[in-house]
Amino acid sequence: MRLDKFLAEAGLGSRKEVKQLIKKGQISVNQQIERTDKKQIDPEKDIVDYQGEKLHYQEFYYYLLHKPAGVVSATEDTRDRTVMDLFSPADYRSDLFPVGRLDKDTEGLLLITNDGKLAHELLSPRKHVEKEYFAEVLGVMTAEDQDRFRSGEITLDGELTLPAELFIDEADKEMSKVRIILHEGKFHQVKRMVKACGKEVTYLKRIRMGKVALPEELAKGKYRSLTEDELRALKG
Ligand code: URA
């Protein structure tokens, strides 16, 4: 990798700014001052210092966001605020993107990364990564609904759904509180599966993806980096 690219990726400044630092002799590679911005370095092996401090290069970034309602799961949008607008300028990078989508009115766990390979694996229906949701439903969800979810016989626009789990935490005359575990991610899937049972989702929150749960202490609209354990668990 070129030295100027490394320095920019390490957060030292824009490509133009880091070229200046190199020219001024403020960067050393393996203890030797380096004045060539095109110098090829190995980020894994070479030691790059700026003013005596070792610089670290990170290729991939992984964040866990508590998405609030009202923002869209996109990197850009002409009308609505996006999940990327919740990032501070210090953490924002133009290559970050959300792993899959939550509806604009859905809250909860959304992973944000620049690792396309991991995102693809987490979203692939073949990998069956569990997504768990909490939902409030208008109407009483029943044992028959649980059987329908489990059967894999609910069709959405003529397409069969994979067997899913429905746990009924509360159900009174009008409202139910349920948890739903899906192994795939079709468009509006939870809302449409509940609708197929003749009821309506009034509130939806994703509480888990694979082995990573939405942390209770993470406020709506906030994000943090994944821990090493969480990342390991996701990479499985
Ligand atoms: N299912 C839905 O209906 N909406 C979401 O945002 C996620 C899953």
How far does the centroid of ligand 1 lie from the alpha carbon of residue 188, in Å?
Answer: 4
Q: Does residue 121 sit in the same domain as residue 216?
A: yes
Answer whether residue 85 shows pLDDT above 90: yes
So what's the pLDDT on residue 173?
Answer: 83
Using the structure block, give the residue that is written with the tokens 């403020």.
26
Using the structure block, give the residue that is written with the tokens 């795939």.
184
How far does the centroid of ligand 1 lie from the alpha carbon of residue 104, in Å?
Answer: 9
Domain that holds residue 99: 62-125+212-235
Q: Does residue 82 sit in the same domain as residue 48?
A: no
Answer whether residue 83 shows pLDDT above 90: yes
So what's the pLDDT on residue 10?
Answer: 86
CATH of the domain at 174: 3.30.70.1560
Answer whether residue 80 shows pLDDT above 90: yes
Q: Does residue 135 sit in the same domain as residue 78?
A: no
Q: Does residue 148 sit in the same domain as residue 177?
A: yes
CATH of the domain at 47: 3.10.290.10
So what's the pLDDT on residue 181?
Answer: 98
Q: Does residue 200 sit in the same domain as residue 217?
A: no
Q: Does residue 120 sit in the same domain as residue 218?
A: yes
59 or 65, which is more confident = 65
- Paired tokens of 71: 């923002």
So what's the pLDDT on residue 90?
Answer: 86
Domain tally, the chain: 3
29 membership: H or E segment, kind and range: strand 27-29
Q: What is the mean pLDDT of the chain?
A: 95
Reported as half-sphere exposure (CB side, CA atoms, 13 A), residue 118 has a value of 22
Q: Does residue 227 sit in the same domain as residue 112?
A: yes
**What single string gives the DSSP state of each residue in 59-85?**
S--EEEEEEPTT-BSSS--SSS-BGGG
Contact in structure between 24 and 37 (CB atoms under 8 Å): no
Answer whether residue 72 shows pLDDT above 90: yes
Q: Does residue 135 sit in the same domain as residue 68?
A: no
Q: Does residue 87 sit in the same domain as residue 112?
A: yes
Q: Does residue 186 sit in the same domain as residue 203?
A: yes
**170 pLDDT band (50/70/90 cuts)?**
very high
Answer whether residue 160 shows pLDDT above 90: yes
Q: Does residue 31 sit in the same domain as residue 146?
A: no
Answer whether residue 58 shows pLDDT above 90: no
Catalytic amino acids?
103
CATH of the domain at 95: 3.30.70.580
Q: How far apart are CA 212 and CA 30, in angstroms?
A: 39
Q: Is residue 191 lining ligand 1, measured as CB closer than 6 Å?
A: yes
Quick: pLDDT tens for 116-141: 999 999 998 888 899 999 999 999 99
Ligand 1 atom having least distance to the Cα of 185: 8
